[in-house]
Structure 1
């Protein structure tokens, strides 16, 4: 593998990270020594060192004195890191990744909507509404994906909780995958718009339990839509 990118450091991190997540290097194994990695990726030792340091920071590797650099298991990966999330998205079977994502969203987003009811400013609510109306006026289903992502992120932002905001923006790419896979048919898209409207109206009306329930119903419907598409294929 001979890398010739604009940014050799970033490309080496990307290539090595993907191969770890794909299982080319197994959990608990020592990473090959630097000269072997240099030959495999066609890069210098300093670049290999920088790549391994970066992957240690992302939880894919751990450096042990007198032992070497060891491959970490999935439970150690920093899945909130945008690179790791991207690699996992590409490596895992579509259904398995969406299962994990829906579980995470169900754990976070309904409670975030309830918190947004308490914390949102009028400007926050207007941003949520703007995203919804942009979804509604989109010319095609594909055009509605960006405002759909913006809608969910606006709710997380409206919590004014920096941890929740960070999670939301880190999951941007994963949200794009999730939404694109669950908005595949006109009837499903129309039903999803109605669910989004229920969420927006509940938050705007400062109805905490209604907002939480509306987001939960939206996500459960999306999960059902994905399962139908996945099973039909």
Structure 2
């Protein structure tokens, strides 16, 4: 479903900020200029500005005007902010922070999953794994199934806060997966690593599950670094998930 006029204006302003069209600390154009530029009413611009304030991108007030805040003030768990950054270009700093976050959160969550996973939890993770395998063998949407796999692991930890974090991490993880799977044969090479994680969870072996997920995350970091080393410009994402090509029998 296409976004309404408010959503489109918010996207345009958000991407302009994240891509540094409006410099950090500098005043943004006055409201009438924004209305003219985007062809929308003052009401639409004001609503978009309110949303950007809520996401931590800008500050507005009678004495300061409307100014762009430093990156550390931005809400990096907001899916819109992640999407705008992905479209503007994935900087090395952004990817480093993302992989560091995965290295901190996922091993602990997978340990809990190995202790607490129910048969229903394992069934959902198995289904996601089967979707990944099918995408590799016959072609298809590998990334979405990869995302389901990791969501299933976080849900299997049986922790409400981790479950909420899973929603916040969605855009971050998708960005990571889209980039790491861009490596030739990347999905096929990482599939056994996913199987090792799943088998450890099925065996209810927390230590083995943690080692397996750390190996998987570190492998993703290496794949991303390899992909980036071959590109002159920061990669851009946020489009439809890439479809895996069927592997030869």
TM-score by length of 2: 0.83
CA distance in 2: counterparts of 1:232 and 1:40, whole angstroms: 37
Q: Which runs of 4+ in 1 moved over 6 A?
A: none
> Which blocks of at least 5 consecutive residues in structure 2 are unaligned?
232-249
Question: What RMSD over aligned residues (CA atoms) do the two structures have, in Å?
Answer: 2.0
CA contact under 8 A between 2:115 and 2:205: conserved in structure 1?
no
CA spacing shift, 1:122–1:15, aligned 2, 3 Å:
same
Larger relative contact order (C-alpha < 8 A, sep ≥ 6)? 2
- Say how many residue pairs are matched: 228
In structure 1, the residue matched to 2:168 is 170
Q: Deviations over 1:54-108 (max 9, x none)?
A: 1000110122343322211110111111111100111234544332321221111
CA contact (8 A) 2:116 2:158 kept: yes
Say if 2:118 and 2:156, in contact at 8 Å, map to a contact too: yes
Alpha carbons of structure 1 residues 163 and 148: separation in structure 2 relative to 1, 3 Å: same
Counterpart of 2:196 (choices 184, 195, 198) is 198
User: Could you list the per-position Cα deviations for residues 154-200 of structure 1 after superposition, in whole angstroms to 9, with x for gaps in the alignment?
Assistant: 111112223322332233233233223223323x4333111101100
Q: Which residues of 2 match residues 77-226 of structure 1 at below 5 A?
A: 77-93=74-90, 95-138=92-135, 139-140=137-138, 142-183=140-181, 184-186=183-185, 188-226=186-224
Superposition deviation, residue 6 in structure 1: 6.0
Structure 1 spans left out of the alignment, 5+ residues: none
Distance in 2 separating the partners of 1:195 and 1:36: 53
Query: For residue 75 of structure 1, what is the aligned residue in structure 2?
Result: 72
Alpha carbons 1:64, 1:70 under 8 Å: kept: no
Counterpart selection for 1:227 from 218, 225, 228: 225
**CA contact 1:141–1:189 (8 Å) conserved in 2:** no
Distance 1:229 1:35, change over 3 A: closer
Aligned-partner SS, 2:141: helix
TM-fit CA distance, 1:112: 0.9
**Structure-2 change in CA distance of 1:132 and 1:198 (3 Å):** same
